[in-house]
Amino acid sequence: MTALTPPTVDAAALAARVAALAAEEGVADIAYAQVDSPAGRLVAARTEHGLVRLAYEDFNGGLDAVLEALAARLSPRIVEAPARLDDTRRELDEYFAGRRQAFDLPIDWALTTPFGRRVLQATAAIPFGRTSTYAAIAAAAGSPRGARPTGNALGANPIPIVVPCHRVLASGGGLGGYTGGLSRKELLLGIEGSRPG
């Protein structure tokens, strides 16, 4: 009598197929992928409406912390589905390679407050290679005396790089703050040829 050998299973391939099926069938509300970049590893997440989160993994407590926050704020139905974020990865690669000056990704603003959304939309209008100030963005968002709340809204930007909060500087020309750390802000401004000096 010969023993039957069980078929081998590629667990990673099976998990990818299950995740893709869940995303296609609408079982998952959020698809995510990890993205390597010159600014460090990023976690990108999208809903059916668009990119909802782009996080610096090391600055946001790691992958698990990012996913837990998404589950708490939006939906626990999250699946790793890199193919659903191919456009995000491609556009980020082009940006870091110096071949893209504007992102064409749909955005889901679900993680922002109404004021934060106005601030981030005003920030998104800053052209590549240019900078603005917290005061100017506050005015553009309808709160000319709200530089401090504007800074808070920029610090809570759920989609850095794509929504370019790195282009907002202090009124005196200093860097101000940045959600991923000042070295990343300098890196991004350097890519765009707008390093403050």
Whether the CB-CB separation of 43 and 34 falls below 8 Å is answered with: yes
Name the phi and psi angles at 181, rounded to 5.
Answer: 100, 150
Which of the residues 44, 66, 74, 165 is marked catalytic? 165
Task: Say how far apart CA 23 and CA 80 lie, in whole Å.
Answer: 9
Side-chain half-sphere of 89: how many Cα atoms within 13 Å? 13
95 close to 87: Cβ distance less than 8 angstroms: no
Is the distance from CB of 103 to CB of 162 less than 8 angstroms?
A: yes
Neighbours of 5 (CB within 10 A): 6
Longest CA span, the chain: 85
CA dist 18 and 167 (Å) reads 40
Backbone φ and ψ of 163, nearest 5°: -100, 100
Q: Which residues lie closer than 8 Å to 181 by C-beta, 6 or more apart?
A: 56, 59
**Residue 165 annotated in active site:** yes
Cite the active site residues.
165
